[in-house]
Every structure is written in structure tokens, then in C-alpha cells.
Amino acid sequence: MRVLYWSPGSPRGAIDEALRALDRSSRENPLERPAMAGLIHRVGRDREGNELYATGFGGDSSRICLRASHGILRAFPCVTDVRLMACGSGKIDEERARLDGAMEFAGCDGAGRDLNVFYHCYGSAHSSVVAASIHIGHLPPSRVPSLGEVCGLPWFDRVTHDQIGFPYFIGENPPGVGVFILGLGSSRSSARRFVENFVELCGLSSRILLVDCLPLAGLVVRIGGFMSRRMGAVTAGRLIAAAGIRRRYWEFVSLACRARLKVMCGSAIRADRGPG
């Protein structure tokens, strides 16, 4: 069993908690890497043979990454030997119950899939939705779609702030390859770092493709998203965001086609950071 100790603050709290499970102090465990947010640190092996790890985050990133990790486990039910343990004020059981309902609603079930593709951006509401929709054929790769086609996508500009971090299942293409959208919030670098570390911890590095779509969310898309999601001007904001998508649409096509090519080649994939 691989046990990941999770702290809602500094990773040091989770590291100390894991060390206490080993009857050791932090002075006996000099880390090879600094206790950086998003990194998963191996702490040691307990008497039962469990491998103990630790990680931690501050602010919204803790909840977002918890949602993402649980969603990844739901997308790969074959991973049965990874357990999350809360430290301090972490409420993993409470969040897991909420996640179960969200994952059922989103159709996040990866049983039988050899590979899942996760398109990610800030809030899984705009750029990731468009790239994923091109991937599964819901948007055309040979022409720029109309405003109505973009706004009419089932997930476009729909995810709210408190849903960021849930992986949402969009479809399959080719058969057996699941396509998801994922929001990583404002602490994108540490959240991305955690997801990559967690994928490796679960032994899924060759079965997940992470595709970063945020560089394609230009100023117009961000303004539209802010108006719609934060200011409540849904109709105007959604149209502005869709107009921004159309301005850079061929870059979205290129990103999605590159991801599909990697999937079809069947090579071991770690991540695609997109343009920029």
C-alpha cells in the first residue's frame, strides 16, 4: 500500500505526520528535495510494509488537487493500493463523499480504458473544453466554428468556481481512450507538479496524457470568463469568451491534433505542455 499524507498547509506538516507513523523525527529524515508545494516526498516504509509519502498545499490548491487526485483514481479503478491520509484540518472523507457524487454525475469511470487524456486549464470552462471537443469530434478541425457552435458545447462556460479540480468526462476518441477536462486553478504550476507526481506515484505515467490548454486562453477569453463566472454577466461574457476562442481556433486544432497523434502512436506519454 502507498499512503499519501496530505496537509492543507505546508508539506512539512504532512512530512512530520508521516515520520511520526515511523516513530522518527524530522531530524532523522533529511529530504533530497525541498518541501515545495505540489511535490510528493517519499518518507519511508512502515512496519507493515506500506510506503509513506507526504505532500501539502496552501489556499484553494489543497482542495483542487484533492479533487483531481480522487478523480484520477476514479478514472483508473485498477489503482487500488493508493490511500490518502489527512493531516491537521484536512477533511478527505468529507470531500471524497462529495467527489463521489460529482464523479458519478460527470461519468468519470475509466474502467477498461488503457489511456485517458486530461485537457487542463484554469477552470475547465473554456480552453480545455474547446480542445477536448476538437479531440472527440464535437468541433470541426477544418473550419472555424460559429459563436453558436462554441457557446453550445455542453461544458463551455459552465463549470463554477467551487467545481474547479473535478475531472469531467467528455467522451472517447478513439474507442477506449477517455477524454477529460480538468481545472487546476490559480496555482497552476504547483497543481500541475502535484498531478504529475501523483500520476507517477500511482504507476500511471504511461496511461495518462496531460495537455495544457491555458496558454491558448488569451486576454479576450479571460475577460469573457471573468464576466460570466465572477460578475454574473453570463450571456455577454460567454459570447466574448467564444469570440476569443475563435480568434485562436487554429492553435486549438493544432494542440488537439498533436494529442490525438500521440494517442494513436501508442507511445508512453507523460505530458504535453502545449505552446509557450
Residue 196: what residue type? E
- Please tell me the predicted confidence (pLDDT) of residue 174: 80
Residue 210: what residue type? L
DSSP 3-state of 90: coil
Categorize the per-residue pLDDT at 271 as very low, low, confident or very high, splitting at 50, 70 and 90: low
- Please tell me the predicted confidence (pLDDT) of residue 269: 46
- The yes-or-no verdict on residue 120 having pLDDT over 90 is yes
Instruction: Express each pLDDT in 67-118 by its tens digit.
Output: 888 888 888 888 888 988 877 654 555 555 455 544 444 445 555 577 889 9
Q: How confident is the model over 29-34, as a mean pLDDT? A: 51
Residue 229: what residue type? R
Instruction: Express each pLDDT in 189-238 by its tens digit.
Output: 788 888 999 999 999 888 899 999 999 999 999 999 999 988 889 999 99
| CA of residue 196 relative to chain centroid, distance | 9
Separation between Cα atoms, residue 197 and residue 193, nearest integer Å: 6
Q: How confident is the model over 25-29, as a mean pLDDT? A: 49
Alpha carbon dihedral 166, 172, 176, 181, in 10-degree steps, equals -20
φ, ψ for residue 66, nearest 5 deg? -65, -45
- Please tell me the predicted confidence (pLDDT) of residue 77: 81
In order of 29, 125, 188, the CA distances from 256 in angstroms are 43, 16, 20
DSSP 30-77: --SS---TTPPEEEEE-TTS-EEEEEE--THHHHHHHHHHHHHHHH-T
In the DSSP assignment, the letter for residue 213 is -
Q: How confident is the model over 106-134, as a mean pLDDT? A: 82
Separation between Cα atoms, residue 187 and residue 191, nearest integer Å: 6
Better-scored residue on pLDDT, 124 or 11: 124
- Please tell me the predicted confidence (pLDDT) of residue 103: 47
List, in order, residues 6 or more apart from 221 with CB less than 8 Å away.
126, 127, 241, 244, 245
- The yes-or-no verdict on residue 119 having pLDDT over 70 is yes
- Please tell me the predicted confidence (pLDDT) of residue 59: 67
Categorize the per-residue pLDDT at 264 as very low, low, confident or very high, splitting at 50, 70 and 90: confident
Better-scored residue on pLDDT, 40 or 91: 40
- Please tell me the predicted confidence (pLDDT) of residue 27: 46
